[in-house]
């Protein structure tokens, strides 16, 4: 199935020359030409010819051969719904003013069953709607909802267990096991012994002092002072302590803010007074055990 003319060769082949009605077969077109030639392949519509339909048109595959020639390939998928022996017209490729033809081919389309012409022609039945299977739909919906609930429950249980496990594994700060006032007074004693403000470290001194008081406030009154400004801390502490102690606490925190943020230069008396206020605040607000109170009353 090949036609040769000078430097251009065109060939066509078909996978099966015998086809059952409605089946498909592939047709292959191949053109080889010199690289200097400009070749145009056929333009396909929806049918190859009357009675033979094109189901699918493949892309043109261009390949350069070892000898420098160019090879073009294209595949077509064909089908037919007409019981007949077709003579497929020769395929043509055009180069300039010349046309090049492949050998003709034949395709025999066969009707696989006999049609009984004695039966009367009847109308096509109306389209019937299938009944909706409500229970089947509901069952699937319930199954999906149930699975989502199980996944959500499993995730919630996992998060709760993970949080509990982390809490169990988290080491407990030994200071949290001791009374808040005991820890605070111990730290104040250390600050008092060092007196770093005498070495010019006033900012460090005021910071350490207020940190001790803020940590004590957090444990004693559950006011997270370390995460709040002085104004926020004082606003929450105002209803919790008496007016005199509140005034002294306010003065101490404000002085520390001036030192830390406004580079305020304190006097030795102000530094000593701030330490005294810290001691007084802890001693006057610490939790006194009932047994301790009874012993004092007995004495």
Is the pTM here over 0.75, yes or no?
Answer: no
Domain extent, residue 282, equals 175-298
Q: What is the pLDDT of residue 297?
A: 56
- Contact indicator for 100, 3 with CB cutoff of 8 Å: yes
Cα separation, 234 vs 228, in Å, equals 10
In a domain, 154, yes or no: no
**What is the longest distance spanned by two Cα atoms in the chain?**
132
In a domain, 136, yes or no: no
Where b means 16+ CB within 10 Å and e means fewer, 152-172 reads: eeeeeeeeeeeeeeeeeeeee
Instruction: Collect all residues with Cβ–Cβ distance below 8 Å to 258 and sequence separation of at least 6.
Output: 264
Query: What is the band of 200 on the pLDDT scale with cuts at 50, 70, 90?
Result: confident
Q: Specify whether 91 is located in the same domain as 182.
A: no
Q: What is the pLDDT of residue 96?
A: 82
Total domain count for the chain?
2
Last residue of a domain, one of 110, 128, 143: 110
CATH number of the domain where residue 105 is located: 2.60.40.10
Cα separation, 282 vs 288, in Å, equals 12
Higher pLDDT, 92 or 254: 254
In a domain, 15, yes or no: yes
Whether 1 shows a pLDDT value over 50: the answer reads: no
Last residue of a domain, one of 95, 110, 125: 110
In a domain, 145, yes or no: no
Task: Residue 113: count other Cβ atoms within 10 Å of its Cβ.
Answer: 7
pLDDT in tens, 83-125: 889 888 888 888 888 888 888 888 889 887 665 566 666 666 6
Q: Specify whether 95 is located in the same domain as 190.
A: no
Stretch 78-85: mean pLDDT: 89
Whether 4 shows a pLDDT value over 50: the answer reads: no
In a domain, 132, yes or no: no
Instruction: Collect all residues with Cβ–Cβ distance below 8 Å to 76 and sequence separation of at least 6.
Output: 26, 27, 29, 44, 48, 54, 56, 57, 58
Last residue of a domain, one of 69, 90, 110: 110
């Amino acid at each position: 199935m090949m036609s040769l003319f000078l430097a251009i060769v065109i060939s066509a082949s078909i996978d099966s020359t015998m086809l059952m009605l409605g089946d498909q077969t592939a047709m292959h077109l191949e053109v080889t030409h010199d690289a200097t030639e400009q070749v145009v392949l056929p333009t396909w519509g929806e049918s190859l010819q009357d009675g033979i339909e094109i189901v699918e048109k493949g892309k043109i595959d261009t390949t350069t051969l070892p000898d420098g020639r160019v090879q073009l390939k294209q595949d077509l998928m064909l089908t037919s719904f007409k019981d007949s022996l077709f003579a497929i017209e020769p395929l043509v490729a055009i180069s300039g003013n010349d046309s090049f033809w492949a050998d003709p081919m034949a395709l025999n389309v066969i009707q696989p069953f006999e049609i009984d012409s004695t039966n009367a022609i009847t109308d096509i039945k109306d389209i019937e709607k299938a009944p909706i299977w409500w229970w089947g739909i509901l069952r699937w919906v319930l199954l999906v909802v149930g699975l989502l609930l199980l996944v959500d429950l499993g995730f919630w249980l996992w998060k709760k267990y993970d949080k509990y496990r982390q809490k169990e594994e988290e080491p407990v700060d030994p200071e949290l096991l001791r009374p808040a006032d005991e820890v605070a007074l111990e730290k104040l004693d250390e600050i008092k012994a060092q007196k770093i403000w005498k070495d010019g470290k006033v900012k460090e001194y005021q910071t350490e002092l207020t940190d001790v008081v803020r940590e004590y406030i957090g444990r004693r009154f559950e006011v997270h002072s370390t995460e709040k400004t002085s104004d926020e801390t004082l606003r929450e502490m105002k209803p919790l302590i008496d007016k005199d102690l509140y005034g002294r606490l306010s003065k101490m925190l404000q002085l520390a803010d001036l030192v830390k943020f406004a580079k305020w230069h304190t006097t030795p008396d102000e530094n000593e007074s701030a330490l005294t206020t810290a001691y007084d605040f802890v001693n006057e607000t610490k939790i006194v055990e009932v047994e301790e109170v009874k012993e004092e009353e007995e004495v």
